[in-house]
Amino acid sequence: MKGFTQDRWLTFNQAKKASGHIRKGEHSTLAVLYKPMEREEQTESGQPVLDENGQPKVAHFGILRTHFLFNIEQTEGLETFNETLLETEPSDPFLANSAAENLLLSSGAHIVHRSADEAFYHPIRDLIQLPTRAQFHDEGGYYATALHELTHWTGITLGCSAKA
């Protein structure tokens, strides 16, 4: 939240598009979007590469994008601010992030998914509980929450819970 009372963020251009502006002297906050991607592997001739079970092999990779955001409290002229003005492009379907998945799996942590709208590490039962993937708006939110709870599992910090 960086000291703001509202968790509403937009770019310079989004503020301008909504007929507002960023107050003079305000500084942006760097946000990094990680977008996991996957693509079926192919031979040079365009044929799918198959694994030992005859299934197409899938290459996993990610795209990083940086955005410089301003909190809505750093703007002027957006009194009638409508968040639908900020829609850009439809989000991609929820894709697994192989690097994050491998980290979660190789950690040895016991991770359970429940339809409850909370995420936490339970030290007595030594398990991480997460909402189901479908409860998250995107893969970034899911992996941020899962990896956050994994840090609690390591014993570095305790006693925090989050909602999806």
Residue where one domain finishes, among candidates 40, 56, 86: 86
Please indicate, yes or no, whether residues 52 and 78 belong to a single structural domain of this protein.
Answer: yes
Residue where one domain finishes, among candidates 45, 62, 86: 86
Report pLDDT digits (tens) over 73-122.
Answer: 999 998 656 554 454 433 444 677 888 888 888 888 888 888 778 899 88
By the 8 A CB rule, do 122 and 159 touch? no
Q: Token pair of 98, please?
A: 């192989």
- Domain membership of residue 41 (yes or no) is yes
| Closest-CA residue to 68 (of 143, 9, 5, 19) | 9
Residue 120: per-residue pLDDT: 93
What does the chain come to in residues? 164
Residue 85: per-residue pLDDT: 47
- Domain membership of residue 121 (yes or no) is yes
CA atoms within 13 A on the CB side of 107: 21
The type of residue at 79 is E
Residue where one domain finishes, among candidates 86, 114, 134: 86
The CA distance from 104 to 106, in Å, is: 6
Please indicate, yes or no, whether residues 42 and 105 belong to a single structural domain of this protein.
Answer: no
Range of the domain at 124: 98-153
- Domain membership of residue 49 (yes or no) is yes
Domain count, the chain: 2
- Domain membership of residue 76 (yes or no) is yes
By the 8 A CB rule, do 27 and 94 touch? no
The CA distance from 157 to 154, in Å, is: 8
Residue 132: per-residue pLDDT: 83
Which residue in the block uniquely carries the two structure tokens 């850009």?
88
- Domain membership of residue 13 (yes or no) is yes
Q: Token pair of 76, please?
A: 């002027």
Q: Could you tell me where the beta strands, DSSP code E, fall in the chain?
A: 9-11, 21-22, 29-40, 58-71, 75-76, 110-114, 120-122, 127-131
The CA distance from 114 to 142, in Å, is: 13
Please indicate, yes or no, whether residues 112 and 47 belong to a single structural domain of this protein.
Answer: no
Q: State the pairing for strand pair 120-122/110-114.
A: unpaired
Higher pLDDT, 73 or 37: 73
Please indicate, yes or no, whether residues 106 and 141 belong to a single structural domain of this protein.
Answer: yes
- Domain membership of residue 158 (yes or no) is no
Residue 74: per-residue pLDDT: 95
The type of residue at 149 is E
pTM of this structure: 0.44
